[in-house]
């Protein structure tokens, strides 16, 4: 009996210990969450960190509290400036931040925004540099020995040419304030400069999550890091997604051009580079990309191999000091001249060849070398002038596009893929798509048009007698003069076929069908869960493509022959 009683008491004590231990642990957990270090939990963002990842805020200042004390209008302007800055519109963001700092000099959120915008601008005046120094000093005095302080020290160190010191300071900044996305992005840039691509990619992903996917620069850098590391599929995936969010990003478009070149798609690459120059005529990277079209090599395991001109520049850097050290070595001078010629440094190439001609008029082929310089120079000038003409034509097209009413069509709504279910009322439809973009062409029929160089799109939305969404008719017209049908599908038809296949999946191609009366039709058909879609061209009308999208459940059960759709296709 005694042993049984002792065992019962021991079990009771053990239960009480476990119970109160669990209670204390739960209480400690709740207290830690309430009074312990603050954290940021990231959401699901494409190419960011895993959803639910916790990141300590560290000594990051509470800029939000400062902002909440501002008037509502000032808060809205601050948000607008942040959105512009994250999307790459640094100049517009700077003007708003600068005005806010002048009105509210003690609001650190505005000061912080202006400083980072100045860092991200392509070029700054001496006045802007002085302004940046003043604002940086103000922040460093307010936040000494914090993540922000180390970050600004890191920026200053790189300006002084100390990459390694800048990298260490950036690392310290991230350890002090790991939840500030600007710090993580800056550290990623420095890691990239140091060729530490794996860690750079991790920091980019953190910056993407912490900025909620709104930072254009974070996606640009992640795609660049993957590209430079030879992970071309990953780079392509980032570029394809990021361009849907930031369609005017020069860096992303440039990478798209590179990736197209690596796959031998030189026409597509050139069009991409020309598109960049259409809205950024002075963008040197795009100019250089066109000049070296077809010469680029994909990056290998050891990094980017570089173009022919890049390799020529390396040869110039090696040969120049040798030629200066051994001036009597004329073959060395010739090699340097040829390297300059490949690098399109025509004046330097001529100088080297003239030096040889002066010292040895009988040097083999030296006059031929000088003639090559002049011919190459003429070709380069001609290409440059042709490029200016092409850019002018694209600028006219862009102006034509801007003069039409503004339409918002992302990739998923192209070719009349309105994200409204069949049978929805017109009120539901125009709640999602602005009525201002449409005109009523007849009862229950509305139409919108927009120009997207070089194509004019006309989408006709048809409602039934009960004013319910019924079908969409699409007409796309190529405004260029080069739409010639030479026995193959014209470019416009092939391009729209590929575009719709990316949205709706693989089509069933019908081939050319004679519909009588001299009408020959070539078409592709899709049957998805909701839609029946037919995209068609009439042989002899190479500049025109038509499409109809219908509710699949409203189709007759007996089906229709291809030519039976001709009246429907030609209705609008």
3-state SS of 143-206? CCCCHHHHHHHHHHHHHCCCHHHHHHHHHHHHHHCCCCHHHHHHHHHHHHHCCCHHHHHHHHHH
Supply the pLDDT for residue 485: 45
Residue pair 507/526 in contact (Cβ under 8 Å)? The answer is yes
pLDDT in tens, 490-516: 678 888 888 887 777 777 888 888 888
Supply the pLDDT for residue 379: 67
Average pLDDT over residues 185-205: 92
Supply the pLDDT for residue 19: 64
Residue pair 451/408 in contact (Cβ under 8 Å)? The answer is no
Indicate if the pLDDT at residue 27 is higher than 70.
no
Supply the pLDDT for residue 398: 47
pLDDT in tens, 411-439: 557 888 888 888 889 888 888 888 888 89
Supply the pLDDT for residue 221: 94
Supply the pLDDT for residue 28: 56
Supply the pLDDT for residue 406: 45
Indicate if the pLDDT at residue 161 is higher than 50.
yes
Indicate if the pLDDT at residue 487 is higher than 80.
no
pLDDT in tens, 324-351: 878 888 888 888 888 888 777 888 888 9
CATH number (1.10.8.870, 3.30.70.141, 1.25.40.10, 3.40.50.2300) of 308-402 reads 1.25.40.10
Q: How far lies 257's CA from each of 234, 240, 242, 342, in Å?
A: 15, 12, 15, 22
Least confident of 34-43, 63-72, 341-350: 34-43
Average pLDDT over residues 519-528: 86
Supply the pLDDT for residue 30: 54
pLDDT in tens, 41-51: 988 888 888 88
Q: What is the DSSP letter of 304?
A: -
Locus of tokens 């160089």: 453
pLDDT in tens, 536-551: 999 888 889 999 998 8
Separation CA 321–CA 331 (nearest Å): 14
pLDDT in tens, 222-277: 999 999 988 888 898 899 889 988 888 899 999 999 999 988 888 889 899 999 98
Average pLDDT over residues 59-86: 79
Least confident of 21-30, 275-284, 373-382: 21-30
pLDDT in tens, 143-160: 888 888 899 889 888 888
In the chain, the percentage of residues whose pLDDT exceeds 90 is 17
Residue 218's pLDDT band (cuts 50, 70, 90)? very high
Mean pLDDT, the chain, whole residue set: 80
Supply the pLDDT for residue 4: 59
Indicate if the pLDDT at residue 77 is higher than 60.
yes
Residue pair 121/88 in contact (Cβ under 8 Å)? The answer is no
Indicate if the pLDDT at residue 408 is higher than 80.
no
E strands, 443-530, are: 445-452, 455-463, 469-478, 508-514, 520-527
Supply the pLDDT for residue 372: 81
pLDDT in tens, 389-402: 555 554 444 444 44
Supply the pLDDT for residue 187: 94
Which H/E stretch holds residue 535? strand 531-538
Supply the pLDDT for residue 472: 94
Indicate if the pLDDT at residue 523 is higher than 60.
yes
pLDDT in tens, 432-485: 888 888 898 888 999 998 887 778 899 999 999 888 999 999 999 887 645 444
Name residues whose C-beta falls within 8 Å of residue 190's C-beta, 6 or more positions apart in sequence: 154, 158, 163, 166, 167, 170
**Paired tokens of 555:** 């189709």
């Amino acid at each position: 009996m005694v042993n049984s009683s002792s065992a019962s008491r021991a079990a009771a004590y053990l239960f009480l210990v476990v119970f109160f231990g669990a209670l204390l642990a739960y209480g400690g957990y709740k207290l830690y969450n309430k009074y312990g270090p603050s954290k940021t939990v990231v959401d699901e963002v494409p190419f960011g960190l895993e959803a639910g990842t916790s990141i300590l805020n560290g000594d990051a200042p509470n800029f939000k509290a400062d902002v909440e004390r501002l008037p509502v209008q000032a808060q809205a302007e601050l948000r607008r400036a942040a959105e512009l800055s994250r999307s790459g519109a640094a100049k517009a963001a700077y003007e708003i931040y600068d005005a806010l700092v002048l009105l509210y000099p003690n609001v650190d959120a505005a000061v912080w925004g202006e400083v980072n915008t100045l860092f991200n601008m392509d070029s700054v005046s001496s006045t802007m540099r002085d302004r940046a120094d003043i604002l940086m000093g103000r922040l460093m005095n307010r936040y000494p020995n914090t993540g922000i302080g180390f970050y600004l020290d890191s920026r200053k160190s790189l300006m002084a040419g100390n990459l390694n010191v800048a990298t260490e300071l950036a690392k310290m900044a991230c350890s002090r304030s790991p939840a500030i996305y600007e710090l993580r992005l800056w550290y990623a840039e420095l890691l990239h400069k140091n060729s530490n691509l794996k860690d750079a990619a991790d920091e980019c992903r953190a910056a993407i999550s912490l900025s909620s996917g709104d930072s254009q620069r974070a996606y640009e850098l992640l795609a660049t890091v993957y590209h430079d590391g030879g992970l071309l599929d990953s780079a392509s995936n980032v570029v394809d997604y990021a361009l849907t969010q930031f369609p005017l990003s020069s860096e992303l478009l440039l990478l798209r051009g590179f990736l197209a070149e690596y796959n031998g798609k030189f026409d597509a690459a050139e069009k991409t580079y020309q598109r960049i120059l259409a809205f950024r005529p002075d963008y040197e990277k795009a100019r250089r990309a066109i000049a070296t079209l077809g010469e680029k090599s994909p990056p290998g395991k050891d990094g980017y191999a570089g173009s022919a001109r890049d390799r020529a520049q390396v040869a110039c850097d090696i040969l120049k000091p040798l030629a200066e050290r051994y001036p009597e070595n004329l073959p060395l001078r010739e090699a340097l001249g040829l390297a300059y010629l490949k690098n399109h440094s025509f004046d330097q190439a001529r100088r080297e060849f003239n030096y040889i001609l002066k010292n040895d008029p009988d040097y083999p082929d030296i006059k031929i070398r000088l003639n090559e310089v002049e011919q190459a120079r003429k070709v380069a000038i001609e290409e440059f002038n042709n490029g200016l003409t092409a850019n002018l034509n694209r600028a006219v097209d862009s102006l034509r596009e801007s003069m039409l009413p503004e339409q918002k069509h992302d990739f998923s709504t192209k070719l009349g893929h309105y994200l409204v279910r069949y049978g929805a009322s017109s009120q539901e439809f125009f709640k999602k798509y602005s009525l201002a973009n449409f005109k009523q062409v007849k009862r229950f029929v509305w139409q919108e048009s927009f120009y997207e160089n070089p194509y004019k799109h006309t989408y006709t939305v048809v409602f039934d007698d009960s004013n319910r969404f019924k079908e969409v008719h699409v007409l796309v017209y190529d405004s260029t003069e080069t739409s010639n049908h030479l026995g193959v599908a014209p470019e416009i038809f092939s391009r729209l076929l590929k575009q719709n296949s990316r949205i709706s999946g693989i089509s069933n191609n019908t081939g050319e069908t004679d519909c009588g009366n001299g009408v020959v039709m070539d078409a592709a058909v899709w049957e998805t869960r909701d839609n029946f879609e037919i995209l068609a061209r009439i042989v002899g009308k190479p500049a025109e493509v038509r499409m109809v999208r219908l509710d699949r459940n409203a189709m007759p059960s007996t089906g229709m022959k291809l030519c039976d759709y001709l009246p429907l296709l030609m209705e609008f």
